[in-house]
Structure formats: structure tokens, C-alpha cells
Structure 1
Amino acid sequence: MSQSALIRRQHILPLCLVLPVLFLILGVLSGSQSLNWLLEADAGQTILLHIRLPRVLMAFLIGAALAWAGVLIQGVVRNPLADPGLIGVSGGAAVAAAVFVVISSTMPLPLWLQPAMAFFGGMFALMVVMRMGLSGASMHAMSFLVLAGIAINVLAHALIGLLSYMASDSALRQITFWSLGSLSGANWYWISALAGVLVAALLYWPKRLRQLDALLLGEVEARSLGVSVTQMQWRAVIWVALMVAIAVSASGVIGFVGLISPHIARLLTGAAHQRVLPLAVVIGGCLLVAADALARTIVAPAEMPIGIVTTLLGAPVFISLLLREKRRLSW
């Protein structure tokens, strides 16, 4: 291991501790009003504590959940291009959430049913993609996976369009919210749900990260090391669907965070999941906080949908990864 790599890894823990604090402060203070007004005026304190703080916290938690889902799905399918949005999980969850919106506009439904439906929609989409994408030859598994994800996303967009055509005016506005992504509906309910899922994942996954490392060697090698590959894939599918379902229910479809964050983390610390996962989670949360601050200020006093911002930032990264993978395969 090179000296520069050792130095980078020594700074991982300080980064994980300092970056969230800095970006949360940045997100809370970003806006058209001055800091003095926010701290001194009664209206400013109300905006700070009841609007900006919940929004920034929810942005960080959603980014962390999407990054965690990205690490899991990339580790299970051994594909650096895998992302919950690219491979159709977000689309499947959004379709189920849109179905909830349409039905709830005509009859009362409990709020907890929305993330439950989004969970099953995301899990179904992910299982279909894995079935289609991983059934091809191993050397072409990446191409099959991306193409399967594109197919599911196209179908999801068509179904959302159909639901939009059938929806009432109020339901149509909510479906548009899911499609573009927004944090304007931030509240403590979703913050609690996201925090609960992340805490449960924190208790569940650390002891199983070495099994994900073994999967990077290939399924045959992982089985020889005692890893139940099928069981690990199902665990990852369930957790990815759960995290994406909560995120989509809270903010709509936000793409590329689950792709960019693990990629940056691997560049900084290597491929071992015990180092990649915490750093990717922190980077994902910070990226979404920064994207939300940009969305609130770039067209102020209006607000740009955060899904547009993350797509504009993530698409060039995805293209660069595609080109790099193409060069690697050509060798």
C-alpha cells in the first residue's frame, strides 16, 4: 500500500465526524435571509427551527440512505454502475407511491401504507432487474444489468404518466412531486422514519460487511469461503428496497446519489466495505444537503426540484464511469 493511500485512510474517521457538521451548518444557513435576522427575529427563529432544520436533517438522512443502498447493491452485483435509480428501484417505488396518491385522493388511507407500498414496489422492481440482468454471461453482466434497469425505468415512467392522466388535480401535483424530487415536505415524521431505518441498518450490517467483500471475488469464491450468496443477495434486496422506499416516500425520486457516493468513497479508501460504507453514507448525506442548498439558492426566491440538481451533477460522473469501464474491458 502506498504512503499516500495510508495517509488518506488515516483521515477517514475525522472526515466522517467533521463533514456532517459542516454541511448541516451550511444547509441551515443557506438562504436569502441574513444570519442575524434568523437568530434575532422571532420569524427568523421559527424558519430556522421549524423549516430549515427539519429540511436539512431530512436531506442528510435521505442522502445517507440512498448512499447505503448504493453500496449494498453495487457490492452484491459487483457492478460500480449499479444505483437504486439507474436499475429501477426508485422507479418501482415511485410507481407504488403514485398509486397510493391516486387512491388516497378518493378514499382515506393510513400514511404508513405509502412507504409500505413503495417498499414492495421497489423490491419487486429490483428482483426483476436482478433476474434479467444477472442471468446473462458473467462478462456481460454489467451491460445486462444496466439495460434491464433502463427497461424498468422506462416502464415506470410510462406507468407514472398513466397514473398522472387518471389523477385529480391535487393528486397530479403530488405525482409531479415524486417525479422531480423535492424536500419541501420535510417533517419530523419522515426524519424519524429515516433515522429508524438507518439505525436498524447500523445494527444489522457491520457484522456482514466481510461477506460483501468476499462477494467482490465472485460467487464461486465467496461460496468457497462459506458465504451463502443467495441469502446475502436477498438480504441486500430487502434492505435496498426498504431504504429507497422510505427515501422516495419522503422526497420523491432523487437520482445518482447512490452512484456517486460509493464511487468517491472507494477512490479515497479502497474497496473494503468496512471503510467504504461509513464514508459513502457521510458523503451521500453531505452531497444531498449541498444539492438542496443549491436548489434553494440558484433560482431564488423560487426553488428548483432537487432531483434536477442531482441528475445534473451525477450524469457526468456516470458517463465518466461508463467510459472508464469501456476502456477497462477493451484491455
Structure 2
Amino acid sequence: MTQDQTDYLKGRHVLITGGAGFIGSNLCEELLNNEVHVVCLDNFATGKRENIQSFLSHPKFTLIEGDIRDLDTCKAACKGIDFVLHQAALGSVPRSIKDPITSNDVNVTGFLNMLVASRDADVKRFIYAASSSTYGDHEALPKVEDTIGKPLSPYAITKYVNELYADIFSGTYGLNTIGLRYFNVFGRRQDPNGAYAAVIPKFVLQFMSHESPFINGDGSYSRDFTYIDNVVQMNILALCTQNQAALNTVYNTAYGQRTTLLELTELLKKHLSKFDKDISKIAIKHRDNRAGDIPHSLASIEKAKKLLGYDPKYDIDSGLKEAVSWYWEHLK
């Protein structure tokens, strides 16, 4: 955070829903390191207590264990709050295909509860985790915020509905909102375990165990992989911007660089081989493409640069170097 951002947030109270999750806990850490009051709301369905363990003794940190599907819990959490960073959601396209009802309950009903609670508590700004999945079947690259396609999964539908609700609450109730369309975020504290683990931590764990990771398809599918520190920067910019033209809209939150899955595995092997040279020899296996996956994803970040002053510091290579070092230290 810059000194101006620290000064602006001094004495403010920020609620982070999903604060024990991967992105949420990194946001908690950044704000606490700058002496901002943080309230974390999490039901620990996907968040982990170890992610916030070191914050529990911080005098400016408050944990509320609760579920955003309960409106009373949301209202209690919003009391005295200046800003909301809404990260709580059930991620994963495959999870939403397997269980669309729960994904909808958390991602739509929970989101609406948080909007209502924020409105009623006179929250100054509501910043929320949107998703690149909203672009759906729109094939043009790079992805530009005002042009989307048809959603390809229940998860994508829920994240698009979030944007529609945020827009209504801005126009109807005057609640300032900013949506951040995350593109394949990775980095420290991202869980490598479980059926719905993201590709990078999952591959890292497999390589460290000398297992061959599976790539869905031929490996030509590509993503705009985005290191966590870039995402933290975007959230802080969204919190602190004084540009009125920057409010009540959505932004791609990415680096603006496309990497194929095959390129990703080679980069992972390069960085992991510094710790274990045998990893460089591990072969890759292939299987069928996954339902609901889009072939390619690449963000235009021009809007965020222009309106928020976004300046991402980590490309895929430098981000993976940091992430791999963290995983090697914490998973070994």
C-alpha cells in the first residue's frame, strides 16, 4: 500500500467476507499490516483456520464465524463497517455443475444478503469478487469488460447475476459498488488439496510428490494466470480510489498475458527443479477436456489502468517463482 492509501484507510473498518480463504486471507494480511481494522466473516466451508491463525491476536482483527446465507449474520457483521470486500463464494465450475443449488444459494442468495446488509448499514463502498467466467462463450480476445457472451456453467451464471444485482443496488439504493473479474488467481495459501483444487497448486503438489499431473485436453487451452499480489493491489485501489468515474462498474483483474497449460507445466518444472532436480524429468499426462471450460482467456486491463491506476507487478514467471517458494516451504 502507498502512504496515501494507508492514510485514507486509517481508522476505517473493513469487512472481508471469506476472509479465511485464499484471497481473503491475503487481503486481511495486507490491511492488518497497515493497521486497518479488519472484520473477517467466514463459515470455514472452504476457508481455513490456519490462514488467519496469526491474525487472531492482532488488536485490530475480529473474526465472526458465520454464513452469508443468513441475513441476520450479514447484518451483524456490517455494523460499524466502512467498506466491504466480498470474497465469500463457492468457486469451481465443476462443483457448480455437480451441485448447482448450493452454488446458487451461496453465490446469489448470500451475495444479495450482503448487499442488503451493506445498504442498511450505510457502507461506503462494496467491492466484490466477480469472475472471468462471465465472459462465457464470447470468443474474442482479449476480454473487454463491456462485451460478454452466454454463461457456460451454473457458477458463471451466479457470478453474472452478482454483477446485475450490484448494478441495481448502485442505481436504486446509491450503494457504491466495484466488481473485480478475477482471472485464474494463484499464489500463497491457495489450497492444493480437494476435488476442486485450482490447477497451479494441484500441479505443484503433484510434481513435489513426483507424480505426473493430468492436463485436460492437449494442453493448448490458455489462461491469464494472475498472481495474488496483483489482485491485492486491485482490491486496495478499488477501496481507496477517489475517482467517481471509477465506481459502480466492473474491472478485469489480471496481468494481461496468456499462458497455455503446457507452458504452465514447463514453468512449474523450471522453478521446482531448483529445489528438486528430478522434477524436470516428470512427464505430463492428458485426458479429455472438462465440461464448462472455455478454451482461452486473456484480459484487457486497460480500463483498470486508466480509471484505477492499476499497475500489476508480477507476470506468470515471477509470480510462479514466488508461489513455488511458498509451497516448497509450507508443503514439504
Q: Which band: TM-score by shorter chain?
A: under 0.3
Point out the structure with max Rg over C-alpha.
1
Instruction: Flag the structure with more relative contact order, 1 or 2, with Cα contacts below 8 A and sequence separation at least 6.
Output: 1
Higher strand share: 2
Q: Give the TM-score normalised by structure 2.
A: 0.26
TM-score (norm 1): 0.26
Point out the structure with the larger helix share. 1
